[in-house]
Structure 1
Amino acid sequence: MFVVTGGPGSGKTTLINALHDRGVVSMPEAGRAIIRDQVQIGGTALPWADRAMFAELMLGWELRSWHEASAVERPVLMDRGVPDVVGYLTLCGLPIPAHVEAAANTYRYNRKVFIAPYWDDIFGQDAERKQDKEEAEETGMVMAETYARFGYRLVELPRLPVERRVQFVLEHLNVNRHPNGPPDRRPKVTPVARG
């Protein structure tokens, strides 16, 4: 499992979608889906309403994605991961509960983490992405610091067109030399049965 993280509007989801079109398995970002669902049902677990509850829902989503990805026998790209929840809480100035810290230490990904740097040329806002440029840039820096704190090695994505980014990631995944990817450090957790 390889995480792609960074600030909003840095092109990570576009990159993951392009890699998915090339046959790379991927897991979607929690934040956007949670926002859509909460708005649809009139919920308050939103970054502009109840940030702590929003973080809890993100944690649940990331753990479920981790379990799904752990059952796949080839590289999986994760659009954010459990440490992103720690980074989000840090960014918001909220306390990091012990169970969130424990989750980030327990549910591990490949040590190589791709980080999409802030890129002014492609940054944009929409109904689900309300952050301004300053917050987007700060988010990227906080995510980099958070993943480094948990012992991951950051690989910055180049500010290049998506096809060049795709090639960059494929080279780092070594998909031609290692069909199943480098080994992940995973806890002894039984994957959740799907039925």
Structure 2
Amino acid sequence: MLRVNSNLVVITGGPGTGKTTVLQELERRGFACVAEVARQIILEQVHARGDALPWANTERYCELMLKRSVDSFLKHDPAYAITFCDRGIPDTLCYARLIRSPRESEILEACRVNRYASRVFLAPPWREIYETDAERKQTYEDAVRTYEQMKLAYQDCGYELGEIPRLDTASRADFILDHLPG
């Protein structure tokens, strides 16, 4: 069954592109925002000494990403006001492709039946702000590769992409609000 929630607007991109900071700005302005499931999984797994981590058991991590992403999508009422999502289900497709997971067809089906707003906002790689941390261990070059795969994943799922310009946080939030679909 096809489930469309055009009030869920995805903001995505490779790691370290400032998207979470932009989401915090949108939240400060009164918009509802959904946290990134990938970081939540990493924090939980590290705390529980689990291995479903992108640097340990990539398949288990991918499985949890898919489950949590779909659960997050389903719990948001399509009648509710615009809600911004820090990543979406196609991010799991991107990750699956990067690790060459055998789950790609299962993830593509989840992407096909759970549809966000038609325009997805993509934050491009930005060397000047890129930093690693306890949950983000990729090099800048890995971040660029992830961005390119992310772009393809969302295009393959039929989304229109709006690239967020490399500007200050408030201007990036303004850009998103000025270019919302519909």
| RMSD of Structure 2 on Structure 1 (CA) | 1.2
Deviation of 1:170 (Å): 1.3
Task: Report the AA paired with residue 110 of structure 2.
Answer: A
Task: Report the AA paired with residue 112 of structure 1.
Answer: R
Q: Which whole-Å CA distance do the structure 2 matches of 1:164 and 1:91 have between them?
A: 31
Q: Residues 7 and 116 of structure 1 are in contact (CA less than 8 Å); yes or no, is this contact kept in structure 2?
A: yes
Equivalent of 1:65 in 72, 96, 115:
72
1:35-90 deviations in Å (ceiling 9; x for gaps): 00001111010001111110111111111211222355111111111111010011
> TM-score, length-normalised on structure 2?
0.92
Q: Which whole-Å CA distance do the structure 2 matches of 1:30 and 1:24 have between them?
A: 19
Q: Residues 23 and 86 of structure 2 are in contact (CA less than 8 Å); yes or no, is this contact kept in structure 1?
A: yes
Deviation of 1:134 (Å): 0.5
Q: Which whole-Å CA distance do the structure 2 matches of 1:3 and 1:114 have between them?
A: 6
Deviation of 1:130 (Å): 0.3
Instruction: Structure 1: give runs of 5+ residues left out of the alignment.
Output: 174-180, 183-195
Q: Residues 108 and 157 of structure 2 are in contact (CA less than 8 Å); yes or no, is this contact kept in structure 1?
A: no
**Could you tell me which residue of structure 1 aligns to residue 26 of structure 2?**
19
Q: Residues 27 and 69 of structure 1 are in contact (CA less than 8 Å); yes or no, is this contact kept in structure 2?
A: no
**Could you tell me which residue of structure 1 aligns to residue 103 of structure 2?**
96
1:87 paired with 2:89, answer no
Instruction: Structure 2: give runs of 5+ residues left out of the alignment.
Output: 1-7
Q: Residues 115 and 157 of structure 1 are in contact (CA less than 8 Å); yes or no, is this contact kept in structure 2?
A: yes
Q: Which whole-Å CA distance do the structure 2 matches of 1:151 and 1:17 have between them?
A: 27
Deviation of 1:137 (Å): 0.6
Q: Which whole-Å CA distance do the structure 2 matches of 1:23 and 1:94 have between them?
A: 38
Number of equivalences? 175
> TM-score, length-normalised on structure 1?
0.86
**Could you tell me which residue of structure 2 aligns to residue 42 of structure 1?**
49
Deviation of 1:94 (Å): 2.2
Equivalent of 1:4 in 6, 11, 17:
11
**Could you tell me which residue of structure 1 aligns to residue 60 of structure 2?**
53
Structure 1: 4+ residue segments shifted above 3 A: none
Task: Report the AA paired with residue 15 of structure 1.
Answer: V
